[in-house]
Amino acid sequence: MRFLWQSAVVQALALLSLTATTNAFRVTGATTGYDSRSKSWPARQTIEDLIKATPSWDLYVLALQRFQNTSAADALSYFQVAGIHGYPNRPWDGVTGSGSGVGFCMHSSVLFPLWHRPYMALYEVSLLAHSMGKS
């Protein structure tokens, strides 16, 4: 187990060396929807439940359409954000992935949860911005 964590630390340090970019994107996660009375955030719905919630589903589809229609040259476009995960396999913000797979995703690595959560936060915030017309 100790070797596994040492390997993870080495991989993480290698990733940190890739952070010299021309732009910086701060990913904080969604900051809207908080209910101050119940002191809670709305729960995520399963796709099956979301489809049944017609206004929410419509908003999701329209936001996704706006996200996908953003110019591929925009670093926060659907095309570019999807590329961070894997396809299209190309550099993002001046950085080229160094793994054996495509994109930057850390599949089959102990770093997967540490990598995937901030990626999903970027995706969710981008989709939320499109749903609110702030793209």
Residues 6 or more apart whose CB falls under 8 angstroms from that of 51 comprise 57
Residue 98's pLDDT is: 64
Q: Is 92 helix (H, G, I), strand (E, B) or coil?
A: strand
Tens of pLDDT along the chain (135 residues) come to 444 444 444 344 334 333 334 567 777 777 777 788 888 877 788 999 989 988 989 999 999 999 999 999 998 899 999 988 888 888 888 777 765 666 788 878 888 888 888 888 899 889 988 988 876
Q: Is 35 helix (H, G, I), strand (E, B) or coil?
A: strand
How many other C-beta atoms lie within 10 A of the C-beta of residue 12?
A: 15
Q: Is 54 helix (H, G, I), strand (E, B) or coil?
A: helix
Q: Is 40 helix (H, G, I), strand (E, B) or coil?
A: strand
Q: Are 95 and 18 in contact (CB under 8 A)?
A: yes
pTM for this structure? 0.72
CA distances, 101 to each of 105, 109, 110 (Å): 8, 12, 15
State the angle between helix axes of 78-85 and 112-131 in degrees (0 to 180), rounded to the nearest 10.
170
Instruction: For the chain, give every domain's residue range.
Output: 2-131
Residue type for 117, please? R
Residue corresponding to tokens 């017309």 = 133
